[in-house]
Amino acid sequence: MGNRYTLKPASVLWYLLRIVLVLLIVDTCAIAVEYYLRTYVDASITGSYSFQYYVTGMFGFDGERNIPTYVSTINLLISAILLFTISKHVKNSAQPKHHRKWYLMGCMFAWLSADELFSLHELLVKPSRNFLKESLQQDNLGFLNFAWFVPYVLFFMLVGLYLVKFVLSLPKPTLLRFIGAGTVFIAGAVGMEMVGGDFMADQGSRISLVYKMFTSVEEVLEMVGIILFIYSLLKHMEQQKGLNDLLVISLDKKETAPASSAPKKTVIKEEEALLTVAS
Residue 16 is predicted with a pLDDT of 97
Residue type, 21: L
3 state DSSP class of 250: strand
Higher pLDDT, 264 or 160: 160
Q: Which residue has the higher pLDDT, 172 or 248?
A: 172
**Res 167 pLDDT > 50:** yes
Residue type at 250 in one-letter notation: S
Please check the confidence at residue 226 and state whether its pLDDT lies above 70: yes
Tens of pLDDT along 137-166?
Answer: 888 888 898 889 999 999 999 999 999 999
Instruction: Break the chain into its structural domains and give their ranges.
Output: 4-278
Residue 74 has pLDDT above 50, yes or no: yes
Share of the chain above pLDDT 90, in %: 56
Res 105: pLDDT: 97
User: Which tens digit of pLDDT belongs to each residue from 96-143?
Assistant: 889 999 999 999 999 999 999 999 988 898 999 899 989 888 888 888
pLDDT at 251: 61
Flag whether pLDDT at 46 surpasses 90.
no
DSSP 52-87: IIIIIHHH-TT-SSSHHHHHHHHHHHHHHHHHHHHH
Residue 268 has pLDDT above 70, yes or no: no
CA distance 70 to 224: 15
| pTM of the predicted model as reported, rounded to 2 decimal places | 0.86
Angle at 66 between CA 128 and CA 225, to 5 degrees: 65
